[in-house]
Amino acid sequence: MKQRLTYSFFLLLALLLALPLTGAASSLPDFVAMSKQLKPAVVNISTAKKIKQRRPNFPGNPHSPYNDFFDDFFDRFMQNQPQMPRKQQALGSGFIISKDGYILTNDHVVDSADEVTVKLSDGRTFDAVIKGQDEKLDLALLKIETGEDLPVAELGDSDKLQVGQWVMAIGNPFGLEQTVTAGIVSAKGRVIGAGPYDDFIQTDASINPGNSGGPLFDTEGKVVGINTAIIAGGQGIGFATPVNAAKEIINQLKETGHVTRGWLGVTVQPMTDELAQSFQLKETKGALVADVVSGSPADKAGVKRGDIIVTYEGNEVNETKDLPRLVAATPIDKKIDLGILRNGASKILKVKIAKMEDGETATGEPVATTEKGQLGLALTNISPELAQRYGLEGTEGVLISGIDPNSSAADSNLQRGDVILEVNGNSTGNVEAFREAVAKITKGEVLRLLVKRGDSILYTTLKAD
């Protein structure tokens, strides 16, 4: 009896220990079923564009006096020869988003292409027409005519995606058609410098050249991202554009071929701990306004330098990168509530969003009197000659003509040629005004400087020695 009880105890213990393992196994996605279901909606894309023949590079010393002879000979020889352009080919991926043949892919896959061919999972090929392109989000919309309904990849909700969640990619890496890879979401909201609206999903599902434009699926078989970028030499690091960003522009690409975005007219920069301290803020949240474009919607609404944008139409602006995406997605002429902090007080400004135009985004030796040693800076009044030399529009502000390498200024973000416009909100039109602005500064105090650098205006900080 005792042996029977002991046996039953150990059997029960084994079953209990096995439960978590069984639960974990049952939670794994069925990648076999997902692959069979989703592959028909994924396509391979091949492009070709004609490029002119280039002059051959002759071997030898590039500075040789005989190079002119070879150049003249080549020009005379080729003068009456037909210039046959050659084709440059590229591969990519895409996925069908409507039964009548609309396909989503990356803009860089089809940009400047003279020919675009789409190959379906069943092997049939069709010529595709580029219906719309958006360089800023690196997305393009294609259309093929098959005369029949096509399988469609359902678009999901990338906002609900969680770090650690299983995802699966299908694409055409290195020309290897219909390749399936799986992994997890490694991170969200990645900024990699690809464009003004970086907000990438990072995944360790293998993504390689040729995967561009292909879908990233969640475990429900819905598209949550468009595979877009890789890091050269990196392993297990790929980036996908969130599908919600694509959903916002698909109709515009279909109807007009391009995307119209909202424009606010401010230059913003991130809040640092030191900047937050200089503004007497407890948190580093928000987008700091470094400049306001004259006549812009922000200017008309009363936005000023030094304002900290904390909300946009009820959405929190925790980081600088949050603002451009919110503004860009706003319909033209819509009035929105812009929440700001100014001198520690909260304000709501009404802003009428305008249309973004091309080129816009949704953000020397001293020859005059020089003040040396002030905070480790050599400062100069700006003469007309200096303004011309440094490409400045006026003579307001003080020019940094030198930085003491042994001072804290050498460790700051300041550079020779910068123009200091304000110190802690006080205008510094000349060296004398700068001297007055810093007269009461104590050792260890953090100064907030408004600086003009080239065509940009930004805030930075400097700790007094």
CATH number at residue 194: 2.40.10.10
Of the residues 297, 323, 355, the one at which a domain ends: 355
Output the CA–CA distances (angstroms, integers) from residue 387 to 223, 423, 430, 460, in the order listed.
Answer: 54, 21, 13, 22
The residue-averaged pLDDT of 350-363 equals 77
Residue 226 lies in a domain: yes
Residue 98 lies in a domain: no
Encode pLDDT of 161-199 as tens digits. 999 999 999 999 988 999 999 999 999 998 886 777 888
Residue 458 lies in a domain: yes
pLDDT at res. 26: 47
Least Cα distance to 143 among 116, 124, 170, 106 occurs for 116
Residue 273 has pLDDT above 80, yes or no: yes
Residue 154 has pLDDT above 50, yes or no: yes
Residue 179 lies in a domain: yes
What the block records as the tokens of 78 is 């080729």
Residue 181 lies in a domain: yes
Residue 334 has pLDDT above 70, yes or no: yes
Whether residue 326 is found in the same domain as residue 341: yes
Residue 241 has pLDDT above 80, yes or no: yes
What the block records as the tokens of 158 is 């990338």
| Cβ–Cβ under 8 Å, residues 342 and 307 | yes
Which position has the higher pLDDT, 48 or 50?
Answer: 48
Whether residue 243 is found in the same domain as residue 325: no
What sign has the CA pseudo-torsion 71, 77, 79, 81?
Answer: negative
Residue 80 has pLDDT above 50, yes or no: yes
Whether residue 276 is found in the same domain as residue 334: yes
Cα gap 133→135, rounded to integer Å: 6
Whether residue 232 is found in the same domain as residue 303: no
Per the prediction, the chain carries an average pLDDT of 83
Whether residue 343 is found in the same domain as residue 422: no
Cα gap 260→405, rounded to integer Å: 48
Of the residues 355, 388, 422, the one at which a domain ends: 355
Whether residue 406 is found in the same domain as residue 448: yes
Domain assignment of residue 333, given as a range: 262-355
Q: Which positions are catalytic?
A: 108, 138, 212
Encode pLDDT of 397-426 as tens digits. 888 877 877 777 877 888 888 899 998 888
- Count of structural domains, the chain: 3
Whether residue 225 is found in the same domain as residue 298: no
Residue 87 lies in a domain: no
Of the residues 332, 355, 378, the one at which a domain ends: 355
Encode pLDDT of 128-147 as tens digits. 999 999 998 999 999 999 99
The residue ranges of DSSP E strands in 231-334, in sequence order, are 238-242, 262-263, 266-270, 287-292, 308-312, 315-316
Least Cα distance to 246 among 222, 226, 218 occurs for 226
CATH number at residue 413: 2.30.42.10
Residue 301 lies in a domain: yes
Residue 293 has pLDDT above 80, yes or no: yes
Q: Confidence band (pLDDT; 50, 70, 90) for 370? A: very low
Whether residue 324 is found in the same domain as residue 406: no
What the block records as the tokens of 135 is 């360089």
Whether residue 305 is found in the same domain as residue 217: no
Whether residue 405 is found in the same domain as residue 459: yes
Q: Confidence band (pLDDT; 50, 70, 90) for 365? A: very low
Contacts 24+ apart (CB under 8 A), 329-336: 329/248, 329/261, 329/262, 330/262, 331/262, 332/260, 332/262, 334/262, 336/312
Whether residue 247 is found in the same domain as residue 267: no
Residue 382 lies in a domain: yes
Whether residue 340 is found in the same domain as residue 306: yes
Least Cα distance to 420 among 364, 464, 367, 380 occurs for 380
Q: What is the pTM of this model?
A: 0.67
